[in-house]
């Protein structure tokens, strides 16, 4: 598989595969911060549709592994895994949660900039990242987006690891990937220039 020049080039290559969603008021492109932002911005621009962002923070649980429990900001709305309720109550943990929620709220304000949060209920959400390696990021993102009651969730990336395919296809309404090279390695191997924007730069990306 030929490498993409950079993340924006990956978005320009991905956009034609999503052409059936072009110009529709019921479609929102949702970028996974940070690496998915340049890709998604190009997709949204090409399709002429609305564009917003999603980012998440894994939470450290007081008992057992916490890698699967997250707090996400989805188009400006805080979404917390329902499983978190089982761990609530301890004063120290509640303080940790408060500080964590405040920290990710500040981050959301930073990466959002002047972008107005969009409504996702009843919409087709095109969830865009730069690649799929293990699939864990997309699984977290899809779960968070589902809590916003969209009509459909379409996962779309320029390139993915073949071993991650089945797991994403099982939870997304549609999966669009331009190539499944094997061996995959890591996402950066498939871009000539793999510059993931820092949070301060993310705010400046526009479709």
Residue in 95, 118, 106 with CA at minimum distance from that of residue 28 = 118
Check residues 31 and 64 and name the one with the higher pLDDT. Answer: 31
* Two structure tokens written together for 154: 């379409």
Q: Give bridge partners of residue 55 from the DSSP assignment.
A: 73
* pTM (whole model) above 0.85: yes
Are 33 and 54 within 8 A, CB to CB? yes
Are 57 and 25 within 8 A, CB to CB? no
**Average pLDDT of 68-94?**
80
Q: What is the pLDDT of residues 9-41, one digit of tens each?
A: 999 999 999 999 999 999 999 999 999 999 999
Most confident of 49-53, 87-91, 107-111: 49-53
Q: For the chain, percent helix, then strand, then coil, each to nearest 5?
A: 40, 25, 40
What is the fold of 7-54+116-202?
A: Rossmann fold (3.40.50)
Are 9 and 169 within 8 A, CB to CB? no
- Strands across the sheet with 50-58, in order? 77-80, 70-74, 50-58, 27-32, 124-128, 152-159, 174-179
| pLDDT category of residue 66 using cuts at 50, 70 and 90 | very low
Q: What is the pLDDT of residues 141-174, one digit of tens each?
A: 999 999 999 999 999 999 999 999 999 999 999 9
| pLDDT category of residue 206 using cuts at 50, 70 and 90 | confident
CA gap 133, 146 in Å, rounded: 21
Question: Where along the chain do its domains lie?
Answer: 7-54+116-202, 57-112
Peptide bond into 183 cis (omega under 30): yes
């Amino acid at each position: 598989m030929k490498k993409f020049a950079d993340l924006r080039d990956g978005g320009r290559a991905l956009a034609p595969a999503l052409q059936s969603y072009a110009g529709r008021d019921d479609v929102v492109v949702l970028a996974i911060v940070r690496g998915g932002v340049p890709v998604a911005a190009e997709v949204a621009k090409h399709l002429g549709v609305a564009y917003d962002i999603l980012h998440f923070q894994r939470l450290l649980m007081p008992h057992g592994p916490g890698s699967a429990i997250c707090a996400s900001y989805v188009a400006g709305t805080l979404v917390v895994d329902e499983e978190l309720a089982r761990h609530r109550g301890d004063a120290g943990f509640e303080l940790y949660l408060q500080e964590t929620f405040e920290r990710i709220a500040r981050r959301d304000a930073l990466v959002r900039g002047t972008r107005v949060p969009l409504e996702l209920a009843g919409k087709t959400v095109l969830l865009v990242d730069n690649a799929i390696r293990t699939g864990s990021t997309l699984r977290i993102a899809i779960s968070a987006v589902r809590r916003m009651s969209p009509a459909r969730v379409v996962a779309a990336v320029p390139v993915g690891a073949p071993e991650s395919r089945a797991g994403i296809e099982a939870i997304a309404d549609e999966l669009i990937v331009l190539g499944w090279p094997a061996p995959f390695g890591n996402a950066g191997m498939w871009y000539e220039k793999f510059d993931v924007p820092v949070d301060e730069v993310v705010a400046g990306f526009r479709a």
